[in-house]
């Protein structure tokens, strides 16, 4: 029921019906041919490692999958949380390399930072500051512990912290912002979140970019009067990331927007 409500909230009744119809056709086609898709067979043959190589290398714990319904949060927005899953490092780095902003003037904010994987990855860039906001207090604590433990020779000396809070009312720091979202929530939270950011920008005009990975709500964002779409690109999961993905994904879409007027 929860998944169905997410679908309807994100796509509307018509979009939900069309998507269900498409999935049914794929299933029927597979049943008729009696074949499993090649990618699924390959994944079944080689299960991903228990611990992501990134965590192993740096002695942190940012792996695992926690579905939305299992995320414990007293906040009301929790119902619309998609779940916790850490980003593949190679995807975030490829997207940032393409974006190539003037890093020292930007604060990086991970909206839904979970255990802090993206916060650690962002420390490869000389941001002014790195900040994570997380609905689950338990996950925010883990992110803080990971940041304390995390050592890498490429880690920049940048202030980094994770706080527990809701994306729709978090106080946004002054100055240019790079907001990063790894599809953290459904439309009923995305809409007030975008409004919240737009109001903050109206009070203090500055550059605000939004990097949206696995952009399920691209259509909604594309209709927003607050946003200008800059680009969308599909990045491959490189090297060890490809074998470590528990969904067997080999690529990830990334959309980048800029807040306007
Ligand atoms: C897919 S995980 C992304 C984790 C991390 N950003 C990364 O890239 O590795 C999404 C996270 O968003 C959090 N979340 C969901 N709704 C939220 C909200 N309204 N405010 C803050 N965090 C939220 C979830 O608890 C979850 O940890």
Question: In this predicted model, what pLDDT tens digit does every residue of 196-235 receive, in sequence order?
Answer: 999 999 999 999 999 999 999 999 999 999 999 999 999 9
Q: Round to whole Å and give the CA distance between 132 and 163.
A: 6
Q: Round to whole Å and give the CA distance between 130 and 115.
A: 14
31 and 125 housed in the same domain: no
The reply to whether 229 falls in a domain is yes
How far apart, in Å, do the first and last CA atoms of the chain sit?
Answer: 38
Q: Which residue do the tokens 């992110």 mark? A: 143
Distance between Cα 24 and ligand 1 center (Å): 30
24 and 133 housed in the same domain: no
The reply to whether 132 falls in a domain is yes
Per residue in 166-190, is it b (16+ CB within 10 Å) or e — as a string? Answer: bbbebebeeebbbbbbbbbbbbbbb
Assign residue 249 a region (left: φ > 0; alpha: ψ between -120 and 50; beta: otherwise): beta
The reply to whether 48 falls in a domain is no
| Mutate which of 61, 114, 123 for ligand 1 pocket (most atoms within 8 A of beta carbon) | 114
pLDDT beyond 80 at 45: no
User: Where is pLDDT greater, at 12 or 189?
Assistant: 189
* Nearest by Cα to 97 from 219, 233, 240: 233
108 and 31 housed in the same domain: no
151 and 30 housed in the same domain: no
Closest Cα to atom 22, ligand 1: which residue? 112
The reply to whether 201 falls in a domain is yes
* Nearest by Cα to 209 from 94, 86, 101, 90: 101
Angle CA 212–184–246, to nearest 5: 90
Per residue in 89-120, is it b (16+ CB within 10 Å) or e — as a string? Answer: bbbbbbbbeebeeebeebbbbbbbbbbbbbbb
Q: Is the CB of 54 under 6 A from ligand 1?
A: no
**What is the pLDDT averaged over residues 14-18?**
77
Q: Round to whole Å and give the CA distance between 132 and 161.
A: 6
* Structure token digits, residue 246: 């528990």
Interval 131-159: pLDDT, tens = 999 999 999 999 999 999 999 999 999 99
Q: Is the CB of 139 under 6 A from ligand 1?
A: yes
pLDDT reported for residue 84: 95
Q: Round to whole Å and give the CA distance between 217 and 183.
A: 8
Q: Round to whole Å and give the CA distance between 90 and 255.
A: 16
15 and 134 housed in the same domain: no
Structural domain count, the chain = 2
Q: Which domain holds residue 239?
A: 53-259
CA distances from 107 to 22, 98, 224, 261 (A): 41, 18, 23, 20
pLDDT beyond 60 at 128: yes
Phi first, then psi, for residue 236 (nearest 5°) are: -75, 150
Distance between Cα 233 and ligand 1 center (Å): 22
18 and 120 housed in the same domain: no
* Nearest by Cα to 254 from 98, 83, 64, 84: 98
The reply to whether 158 falls in a domain is yes
62 and 163 housed in the same domain: yes
Q: Is the CB of 115 under 6 A from ligand 1?
A: no
Closest Cα to atom 24, ligand 1: which residue? 112
156 and 91 housed in the same domain: yes
Query: Which atom of ligand 1 approaches the CA of 73 most closely?
Result: 25
77 and 184 housed in the same domain: yes
Phi first, then psi, for residue 144 (nearest 5°) are: -60, -45
pLDDT band at 37 (very low <50, low <70, confident <90, very high): low
Interval 73-118: pLDDT, tens = 666 778 899 999 999 999 999 999 999 999 999 999 999 999 999 9
**What is the pLDDT averaged over residues 28-49?**
64
94 and 164 housed in the same domain: yes
Q: Is the CB of 110 under 6 A from ligand 1?
A: yes
Q: Is the CB of 113 under 6 A from ligand 1?
A: yes
Distance between Cα 167 and ligand 1 center (Å): 9
61 and 129 housed in the same domain: yes
Q: Round to whole Å and give the CA distance between 237 and 14.
A: 32
Distance between Cα 82 and ligand 1 center (Å): 8
Closest Cα to atom 15, ligand 1: which residue? 81
The reply to whether 173 falls in a domain is yes
Task: Report the percentage of the chain scoring pLDDT > 90.
Answer: 74
The reply to whether 163 falls in a domain is yes
Distance between Cα 26 and ligand 1 center (Å): 30
pLDDT reported for residue 40: 45
């Amino acid at each position: 029921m929860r998944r169905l409500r997410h679908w309807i909230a994100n796509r509307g009744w018509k979009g939900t019906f069309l998507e269900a119809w498409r999935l049914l056709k794929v299933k029927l086609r597979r049943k008729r041919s009696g074949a499993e898709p090649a990618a699924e067979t390959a994944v079944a043959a080689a299960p991903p490692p228990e611990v992501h190589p990134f965590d192993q290398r740096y002695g942190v714990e940012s792996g695992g999958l926690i579905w939305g319904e299992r995320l414990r949060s007293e906040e009301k927005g929790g119902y619309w949380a998609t779940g916790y899953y850490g980003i593949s490092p190679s995807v975030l780095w490829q997207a940032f390399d393409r974006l190539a902003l003037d890093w020292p003037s930007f604060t990086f904010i991970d909206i839904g930072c979970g255990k802090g994987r993206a916060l650690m990855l962002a420390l490869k860039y000389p941001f002014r500051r790195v900040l994570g906001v997380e609905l689950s207090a338990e996950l925010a604590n883990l992110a803080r512990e990971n940041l304390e433990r995390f050592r890498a020779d490429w880690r920049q000396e940048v202030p980094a912290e994770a706080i527990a809070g809701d994306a729709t009312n978090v106080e946004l720091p002054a100055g240019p912002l790079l907001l990063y979202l790894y599809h953290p929530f459904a439309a009923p939270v995305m809409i007030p979140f975008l409004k919240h950011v737009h109001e903050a920008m109206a009070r203090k005009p500055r550059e605000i970019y939004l990097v949206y990975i696995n952009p399920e709500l691209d259509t909604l964002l594309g209709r927003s009067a607050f946003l200008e779409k800059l680009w969308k690109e599909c990045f491959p999961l490189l090297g060890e990331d490809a074998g470590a993905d528990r969904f067997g994904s080999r690529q990830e879409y990334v959309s980048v927007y800029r807040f306007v007027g």
